[in-house]
Amino acid sequence: FLSLYLYLIFKKLSPFSKKWWTFGILLGFSLGAAISVKVIGFGILLLIWVWEILEEKFFSKNKKEMWSKAFFFLFLPFFLYFLFFAIHFLLLPEKCEKNCGWILEWERVFPGIQKMSEYSFILPKLNTPPPGNLIIKFFETQKLMLYDIAGTSFYYWQSPWYSWPFMIRPIEYFAEKVGEKTSYIYFFGNPLVWWFSFLGVIIYLYLITRNLILKFKMNLPSSFYSPNFRFLFLGYVIFFLSFSIVARFLLLYHYLAGLTFSIIISSVFFSEICQNFSKRLSNILFFGILFLIFLSFLYFSPLTYGFPISAKALKLKTWLPSWFY
């Protein structure tokens, strides 16, 4: 999201000004870091390129601006991406004969807990530099990473991508008996935040689609058609629907980037809707929703922070049967 922040500043600047060059280079470094940390970082790159082509009319720019942006959004990020792999190969030249990396750490910290079998096969290969020169090593490693994405292994706490907005399946990280109670740590969000944010996205999409299709138009705020809203919605679509093509098991935390976009969209959406109400009613709605979200946070916090609870309390907090079993 630092990359998105830098991009939003960058696209407001006059081309070829000092600030334009400065923020362009900073953006390139930020994009390079984003795609190097995790594959989902490529979503930021995709979002910027789709926006540049569709909204900023990238190919209608003069050649100097096109090549400059290609340097910022493509060459610099991928150069850094390649550089980090080169450093990795330089620092880790030794072969890994058996279980490597965090596989052994997983078994030490979580003895007896099912590990993700897919990684016990793929990680030793990633930790062992492929034979050949630097270029060959780089591309062979990319092939292994793509194999990982295309894997089909099973994990107990996995969840399909289309279930994420409803938070159907959290992830258990820790469970330990504390007297007659049990301490749990789950990857588990605030249900009201997840559900309200998705509801906002759905209502926004419905209203916009309805006005585009039907002859009878609703009087919607002009901001609903603004580039900012389109940018946010495009970000949500990319970071949510792109997981539909991933074959390997998926987990709830893969939705975090999409969730952030949905929270922003729904917040702005409901803020605009509240402009039609009196100030008093708007404040009541705002603080009422905020209070409910805070109560929900307090109610479910034991499952996030490991506060010991009884079996009865766990059952009361299990609003959906798939949550904690």
Write out pLDDT tens, residues 229-284: 889 999 999 999 988 888 778 899 999 999 999 999 999 888 888 888 898 999 99
CA-to-CA distance for 177 and 268, rounded, in angstroms? 43
Percentage with pLDDT > 90 across the chain:
51
CA-to-CA distance for 119 and 313, rounded, in angstroms? 35
User: What mean pLDDT comes out for the span 105-131?
Assistant: 52
User: What mean pLDDT comes out for the span 285-310?
Assistant: 94
Collapsed DSSP state (helix, strand, coil) of residue 96: coil
CA-to-CA distance for 17 and 68, rounded, in angstroms? 12
Full-prediction pTM beyond 0.75? yes
Tokens of 180: 């007659």
Taking a C-beta distance cutoff of 8 angstroms, is the pair 262, 284 a contact?
A: no
Look at residue 118 and tell me whether its pLDDT is greater than 60.
no
Taking a C-beta distance cutoff of 8 angstroms, is the pair 300, 323 a contact?
A: no
Collapsed DSSP state (helix, strand, coil) of residue 250: coil
Look at residue 217 and tell me whether its pLDDT is greater than 80.
no
- Output the pLDDT for position 133: 84
User: What mean pLDDT comes out for the span 86-104?
Assistant: 67
Angle at 126 between CA 124 and CA 127, to 5 degrees: 65
Percentage with pLDDT > 70 across the chain:
86
- Return the H-helix or E-strand segment holding 76: helix 76-91
- Output the pLDDT for position 119: 47
Look at residue 37 and tell me whether its pLDDT is greater than 60.
yes
- Output the pLDDT for position 107: 53
Amino acid at 95: K
Nearest by Cα to 34 from 16, 48, 51: 48
Which sequence spans correspond to the domains of the chain?
Answer: 2-91, 102-149, 187-304
User: What mean pLDDT comes out for the span 186-210?
Assistant: 92
CA-to-CA distance for 148 and 145, rounded, in angstroms? 5
Q: What is the mean pLDDT of the chain?
A: 85
How many CB atoms sit inside 10 A of residue 159's CB? 22
Taking a C-beta distance cutoff of 8 angstroms, is the pair 277, 285 a contact?
A: yes
Nearest by Cα to 43 from 98, 8, 1: 1
Least confident of 79-93, 110-124, 165-179: 110-124
User: What mean pLDDT comes out for the span 190-209?
Assistant: 92
User: What mean pLDDT comes out for the span 50-60?
Assistant: 87
Angle separating helix axes 191-213 and 256-274, nearest 10 degrees = 70
